[in-house]
Amino acid sequence: MSDQETLKVTLIQSSLYWHDIDANLAMLEEKIWQIGQETDLIVLPEMFSTGFTNAAPELAEPMNSKTFRWVKQMAKQTNAVVSGSFIARDGKDLYNRLLWMCPDGTFATYDKKHLFRMSEEHDIYTAGKERLIVEWKGWKICPLICYDLRFPVWSRNLTQEDESLSYDLLLYVANWPAARSQVWRTLLQARALENLAYCIGLNRIGEDGNHIAYDGQSTVFNYKGEIISDLLANDTIVTVELSKSALNEFRNKFPAYLDADAFTLGK
């Protein structure tokens, strides 16, 4: 797989059917076929097949079940990575699990580390323990989930022994309520600035079964905290192009990461 100067990322900002896996997969499949161009990465919201819910005992799926197989099919047919989170059952544990599915059927997973205690997510789900960094077409990408956005240590672009950075793109999938939209935008911009990386937040719109409203505001920030794309509150599909050479040029001119405080990420 050759390195690419430009990475095309497609964001699907959509409402979701409450607790209806079949309806959501059918709706999102239709939207995927509306993309209408080649892309490298297709991003879906947090819990894209159900909406954000604590009804995990009833809705959780084992790996290689319906949602997993659907994501695998979409990745193969679009020749793009497809990523978003769903409710996974792994043994006796339930996870808010992000799938990173490649076109060839290989995949990686990330289990949400920070569980939203204000909705009692931490009482239902098991927290993940390891961060995921994947490489795709020469780009290093760190995908995280919703509430993780509030915790900058977890997303820190750690400096390696050779003084390189861990990732080029920080990606959040979310069901982030409209009541806290300003926080969402502010933190996404901060994560881009402090990590000298592109930062994308993909949220949903509409109202869920708990009468919580979501107004999207999915946004793509560059490494200088500038907005590349703003989806506002629209039901929309947007593809953005990210430039590796522009990113590297800025990092060379402004290598603030070389002065970062050394620390070890604890459990």
What residues act catalytically?
Answer: 46, 112, 146
Burial environment of residue 179 by CB neighbours within 10 A (0 to 12, 13 to 18, 19 or more) = exposed
Q: What is the DSSP letter of 128?
A: P
Least Cα distance to 174 among 28, 16, 7, 8 occurs for 16
Measured between alpha carbons, how far is 68 from 193 in angstroms, rounded to an integer? 34
Measured between alpha carbons, how far is 59 from 19 in angstroms, rounded to an integer? 7
Measured between alpha carbons, how far is 210 from 42 in angstroms, rounded to an integer? 27
Measured between alpha carbons, how far is 212 from 247 in angstroms, rounded to an integer? 37
